[in-house]
Chain A
Amino acid sequence: GIQVEQSPPDLILQEGANSTLRCNFSDSVNNLQWFHQNPWGQLINLFYIPSGTKQNGRLSATTVATERYSLLYISSSQTTDSGVYFCAVMGYSGGGADGLTFGKGTHLIIQP
């Protein structure tokens, strides 16, 4: 099956710093999503981005499908950005009904 690797696994930053999280995947995908899991365990949808670039406030994401990677940018970090960021993909083989394959996540800590 498709493999998803995220880097870095851990990241500690001061409030106000910028960060870039990376997601590499091993095959063509028809779905790529970024999630934020907050300290209470809730999974929050950030972006649906199988290709191209999107922005939402201080967050933006870019997926280069031909090179099989996606980047999540967080600017002017706030303590509420802390948590685990997951990249998840779905390949073409499942016909659309299969579930997502998740990376292991990037654990982000923003210190005040």
Chain B
Amino acid sequence: DAGITQSPRHKVTETGTPVTLRCHQTENHRYMYWYRQDPGHGLRLIHYSYGVKDTDKGEVSDGYSVSRSKTEDFLLTLESATSSQTSVYFCAISAGAEQYFGPGTRLTVT
């Protein structure tokens, strides 16, 4: 499972509140990613990181920010959650050429 955990696994929050999702990896991988999955879509890239304090935007980055202060942790923050951010969020790492995914976080914004 490439040693990836995500927390929380489920969260319900209200519109306008800040939310932070955590991705933790135990194998010192340089590259980490956040994706979201919505019904009828595959996964879409939100942000990615290529090292500590090195991050960049993906396809659907509006409304999200990220931080990576340690190799093992990659945080995704919704500064002010909206209903359109209700989704399942997956974290991933690159091990060599392949990406491996965490178990996902189901976020509901009411």
| Chain A contact residues, CB within 8 Å of chain B | 1, 4, 31, 33, 35, 41-43, 45, 48, 50, 86, 88, 97-105
**Contact in complex: B41, A99 (CB < 8 Å):** no
A-B contact pairs, 27 of them (CB 8 A): A1-B59, A4-B42, A31-B98, A33-B98, A33-B99, A35-B101, A41-B88, A41-B103, A41-B104, A43-B90, A43-B104, A45-B100, A48-B98, A86-B42, A88-B42, A97-B31, A97-B48, A98-B58, A99-B33, A99-B48, A100-B45, A101-B45, A102-B43, A102-B44, A104-B40, A104-B42, A105-B42
Interface residues of B in 76-98 (CB under 8 A from A): 88, 90, 92, 97-98
Number of A-B contacts (CB under 8 A): 53
